[in-house]
Amino acid sequence: MIITIDGPAGAGKSSVAKLLARRLGFRFLDTGAMYRAVALSGMREGLDWDRPGDLAELAGRIELRVEGERIFLDGEDVSAAVRATEVTAVTRYAADNPAVRAQLVALQRRAAAGQNIVSEGRDQGTVAFPDAECKIFLTAGPEERARRRLNELLAKNEPVTLEQVLAAQNRRDREDAGRRVGPLLPATDAVEVPTDGLSLEEVVAKLEAIAREKMRN
């Protein structure tokens, strides 16, 4: 069975998807980490971002492997490296590149083949797995998402303000919505779950109930 969880940055997809996968004994697929790893690789190679063909060629050349919650780039564990602020800033070059998207969607489908999986991203219910049995679209208001992100960054001692986090988030929302291929969009058969005011535990419990109901049918 495939469970897709899509939604905007800061809606809590990663934490929720990881926990849900653990509860159900499913594998977890973080597709954002794949786009981040392609961008990291491009950064390390000093690619010219204005040459999208070069990034697509690079994406076809590198070996990306996903093992549970970890991602490997040519054998190196880059799970922490892909979350660096510099990588986040250039990941849109990978996400906006249709040829890169096609390769990563193919990789996502290979990773999911024959597996029980919770796959998290922006286009999982629409493009990668249109036939998934259970599709969730996780939302939260902009203020709530920014507050959650701010707390994460402050916990890591990064000196940021709520205004800065909100501005960066608005930019990413615009990029996600405006992407020509694979934009952020709820699948028509997705269950929309607003998470404002809910704890992680409460959200996971909601999703687990939805997933178990789908499994029974």
- Binder of ligand DC out of 8, 32, 42, 125 (CB under 6 A): 32
Strand order of the β-sheet with 70-73 is: 64-67, 70-73, 76-77
CB of 12 to ligand DC, least distance (A): 11
Token couple for 117: 């999986």
Select from 116-124, 140-148, 155-163, 205-213 the region that touches ligand DC (CB under 6 A).
Answer: 116-124
Q: How far is CA 73 from CA 12, 48, 53, 77, 135, in A?
A: 25, 20, 20, 7, 29
Sign of dihedral through CA atoms 215, 33, 122, 149?
A: positive
- Binder of ligand DC out of 79, 91, 126, 169 (CB under 6 A): 91
- Hunting for tokens 């493009």 — which residue is that? 127
Select from 122-130, 137-145, 187-195, 207-215 the region that touches ligand DC (CB under 6 A).
Answer: 122-130
CB of 50 to ligand DC, least distance (A): 19
Evaluate whether 203 touches 7 at the Cβ level (below 8 Å). no
CB of 33 to ligand DC, least distance (A): 6
Q: Looking at beta carbons only, is 158 or 213 nearer to ligand DC?
A: 158
By CB under 6 A, name the binding residues for ligand DC. 9, 31-32, 35-36, 91-92, 95, 121-124, 172, 176, 182
